[in-house]
Amino acid sequence: MGADWLMDQAEVVTRSVSNKKPRAPWSGFWYVNVDDCKERSWEDCRRFGFLAAGGGRIYSDQLQRLDIGDQVFAYQKKAGYVGYGIVTQKVRPASEFRCDGKLLSECVQSSPDLLLHKNDPDLEEYAIGIDWKKTFTIQDAKKSSGMFANQNVVCKLSDPETLEFLKRAFELS
């Protein structure tokens, strides 16, 4: 095992790096994972213009990545993409979030546990305002084989095939 072995290893490393598919540049669109549960209902989210995350800072803090004016695609696990919209309000505790001048807790109808942890800043639900441009029910979610989806609450969307599919499904130019 001398210099020949080192040379072979360098060649292997070079090949494995050069065989990787280059990552597409960020599209400017965000991927947001939505849940449909007792804490947050997709029907409430689309009806009252918000997205929420909670159950731990590891989840809710991801909403901090979004700024007013950002474009988001909402994804429902195992169903597909259910919404496209623009961020209108910064993230805040759901207990303080307002829609149409009312507290969110006065508006929502299908999220009985929305404020379950309101006295625990680490576990409580946090909400962010969204002006939904187009949404679908979970049953009518848009999906295609090979489209991008992952477990993150919020991440940048850059997969070209998924973006083309979403632009058609949500009628974006």
pLDDT tens-place string over residues 55-102: 999 999 999 999 999 999 999 999 999 999 999 999 999 999 999 899
99-103-105-110 Cα dihedral, nearest 10 degrees: -20
160-167, Cβ contacts within 8 angstroms, sequence gap of 24 or more: 160/24, 163/27, 163/29, 166/29, 166/73, 166/81, 166/84, 166/142
Query: How many alpha carbons fall within 13 Å on the CB side of residue 72?
Result: 33
pTM to 2 decimal places: 0.84
* Domains of the chain and any CATH numbers: 25-169 (3.10.590)
Q: How many whole angstroms separate alpha carbon 144 and alpha carbon 166? A: 10
Cα 123-125-126 angle, rounded to 5 deg: 120
What is the DSSP secondary structure assignment for residue 35, as one 8-state letter? -
Q: How many whole angstroms separate alpha carbon 97 and alpha carbon 104? A: 6
Assign 18 a pLDDT band (cuts: 50, 70, 90): very low
pLDDT tens-place string over residues 114-164: 888 999 989 999 999 999 999 999 999 999 999 999 999 999 999 999 999
Q: How many whole angstroms separate alpha carbon 94 and alpha carbon 38? A: 14
